[in-house]
Chains A and B, each alone.
Chain A
């Protein structure tokens, strides 16, 4: 039935835009982009790669084309993983049309059929998105309607089934253990400043929103009664007065036993709040978060980030340099108490410390702890987190002593003269490997990291950049000694030093060489150098990058969602363009 509706809609839209195209003097416009990332792997016994497991080459590529004509737009995206590069999920292996959509939006009503990306509020109950560098795509294949009945009021409805790598969108595909449910959701938002004329120029700002999302899944479990309809709701509020802003969102989910939460029947909750103050040259923001059992997937057996319906934003600083990125935090779906404070300040130009160009300072502190869980009575016995039970009770405001992560960092950014620019950062990290990476018995790492970036402009065309990093760590073992068989976990551990030198010629060329050295690894044979050389060519919106060398084991994260990258050695080529 749904299929027929979609075909009809597509037909109607198709005819509509053909008619539209003829009535417009200019006709339609086409745009698009292409990217290919290819890696050639080679054996490198120095960093423990003794076997390529039959994989000499990994290629990830996509091409997308968008068509627009007035209020109509449509697009397709073709993807190829032949096979997928190391560190991407093997389920991606394949070629095909991964995404297509058609939209008509005249400002009052917007209709989309096909693969839908959208987000309600901050995403606590609904967010579908795509992140190429992570191989992540949870698009909803179905339909969306957006209504804007009055200025400042937006109503949305979505309906469909999520992308699950290359799994076909069948009603129920039990042969392949694929029993993804249907996701449907509604959202309403009201911005008072845009809808009430008297408030349009006011210092006071306010907007409200609310969402309801539910999934219809199929109970395939032999052990538990899985609820076949699971609903989640959220409410949000944004307030502002002049330079001060406050925003908050609260979400609630009914019982949703899953592989992630160990099949407990407890409800889920999440609260996000942030308060900020800013004026020219100064900005401060404080964020707090509490999540409890808020993993929400359209298939209850889903692992990792598979089929996530919602998005729980991690609130911590995102490091982009290679050494602090060795210890990047990723959200723990079963519960977190987190807080973050960030301050940005620019010492004005013409002062003693500000100098001729001003000096930019930034401070960030974030910490994530576990929530407190108390055992519950089940058949006369005290149990905690036992499958098939209500799991546990949790005091909303209590913070567990178990700290997952802490990051304190301070950065100074200074243009010294017309030709010299300097950025320096100090980072103090606390990182619980056992919890964050799931290696049982692994210690907590406490690291001090220093970073220095010096840029020298040779002339208007050429510049040199030197980047130096050092990581010095201390490990706290909880009375646990590692065994020989776990030595694999010891790659990347211990002290590191890194350096990078880049020479660039505007607007096309960049050449860089870099080395990372794990000189303080507790295991002597892991004290390796990771040399790489990279050449980049940019022409307008086209980028070609070729690099050769070793890549250390690590984590690549975008927006708090991460994938682990295994150590590798070889050549990487990236070609991307858009038009």
Chain B
């Protein structure tokens, strides 16, 4: 085991010489609410920005953030073409509740299920809510953790920045 560790560490160090901080989305496949596979690395939105939010049915600030995003989503779409993917990190106890919660609250986001935290780990999310902004070329350009009332405004400024480019 020690050898394996050393090998991996060495391999990481060697390759690390050329490595840069990650901007690509990870090669992780999640299911949407219809059970369809969605590969995160291949998410596209016709060159328009994408927002990925991590949330859970039991996370109070996440619900607040998504209610706030829901209120402005139509306007944002009209103005920037942005698409929001809301990744639920609920485990199997709540999987069945995600769809009724999303629909019952009237959210229009694309919803993905990260039942065993695979994308959460790959994107280094420690605590929800955690939000990523991806530009038209599929690169991560901004991320933010936590939610305070009105924080969606900051996110929108970031979206406008990449749309204007």
CB of B9 within 8 Å of the partner chain: yes
Chain B residues near A362: list those with CB within 8 A. Answer: 104
Q: Is A167 an interface residue (CB 8 A)?
A: no
A114 touches B4 (CB 8 A): yes
The listed residue (B5, B7, B19, B37) touching A14 by CB distance below 8 A is: B7
A113–B7 Cα gap in the complex (Å)? 12
Contact indicator A105/B27 (Cβ below 8 Å): yes
Task: Name the one of A207, A357, A460 contacting B150, with C-beta atoms under 8 angstroms.
Answer: A460
| Cβ-neighbour of B36 out of A194, A285, A460, A510 (below 8 A) | A194
Residue B164 interfacial (CB < 8 Å): no
The reply on B116 being an interface residue by CB < 8 A is: yes
Complex alpha-carbon distance, A172 and B121, angstroms: 31
Query: Does A380 lie at the interface of the complex (its beta carbon under 8 Å from any beta carbon of B)?
Result: no
Please state if A281 and B118 are interface contacts (CB–CB under 8 Å): no
A residues sitting closer than 8 Å to B (CB atoms) are 3, 6-7, 10-11, 14, 17-18, 21, 26-33, 35, 64-69, 71, 73-74, 76, 97, 100, 102, 105, 113-114, 117-119, 121-123, 127, 129-130, 132-133, 141, 152, 169, 191, 193-194, 205, 207, 238, 240, 245, 247, 274, 276-285, 287, 311, 313-315, 318-321, 342-346, 357-358, 360, 362, 413, 415, 421, 455, 457, 460-461, 463, 465, 504-507, 510, 536, 538, 540-543, 559-560, 576, 578-579
B interface vs A, CB < 8 Å? 1, 3-5, 7-9, 11-12, 14-16, 18-24, 26-27, 34-37, 57-60, 67, 71, 90-97, 99-106, 115-118, 121-127, 130, 142-146, 148-151, 153-154
Given A66-B124, A240-B34, A281-B104: A129 and B117 within 8 A (CB)? yes
Given A123-B92, A193-B35, A320-B58, verify A504-B11 contact (CB < 8 Å): no
Q: Which residues of B contact A560 (CB under 8 A)?
A: 91, 93
Decide: A68 near B100, CB < 8 A? Known: A18-B15, A540-B144, A559-B93. Answer: no
Bound-state Cα–Cα, A100 to B59, Å: 29
Is the CB–CB distance between A27 and B19 below 8 Å?
Answer: yes
Contact at A205–B102, with CB atoms within 8 Å?
no
Closest to B96 in A: A274
Task: Tell whether, in the assembled complex, residue A360 and residue B92 are in contact, meaning their CB atoms are under 8 Å apart.
Answer: no
Known interface pairs A119-B92, A541-B130; 12 further A-B residue pairs with C-beta atoms within 8 A, sorted by A's residue number: A14-B8, A29-B22, A76-B8, A119-B116, A132-B126, A191-B35, A247-B96, A413-B67, A538-B146, A543-B146, A559-B90, A559-B93
| Residue in chain A with minimal CB distance to B101 | A344
Q: Is the CB–CB distance between B148 and A506 below 8 Å?
A: yes
> Given the complex of chains A and B, what is the CA–CA distance between A510 and B104 in angstroms?
30
Instruction: Report the Cα distance A559→B3, complex, angstroms.
Output: 35
Subset of 27 A-B contacts with CB under 8 Å:
A10-B4, A28-B19, A65-B12, A69-B19, A71-B27, A73-B26, A74-B11, A74-B12, A76-B9, A105-B27, A119-B116, A127-B116, A240-B34, A276-B100, A278-B100, A280-B103, A281-B104, A313-B92, A320-B58, A321-B60, A344-B103, A344-B105, A506-B153, A510-B148, A543-B127, A559-B91, A559-B93
Asked if B91 and A67 make an inter-chain contact with CB atoms under 8 angstroms apart, the answer reads no
Q: What chain A residues lie within 8 Å of B4 (beta carbons)?
A: 3, 6-7, 10, 100, 113-114
Q: Which of A18, A76, A281, A360 contacts B14 (CB 8 A)?
A: A18
Would you give the shortest CB distance from A140 to chain B, in whole angstroms?
Answer: 12
Residue of B nearest to A318 (CB): B58
Whether B100 contacts A285 by the Cβ 8 Å rule is yes
Docked Cα-Cα span, A151 to B98, in Å, equals 25
For residue A246, give the distance in angstroms from its CB to the closest CB of chain B: 10
Chain A neighbourhood of B99, CB < 8 A:
245, 276, 278, 283, 285
A541–B154 touching, CB < 8 Å: no
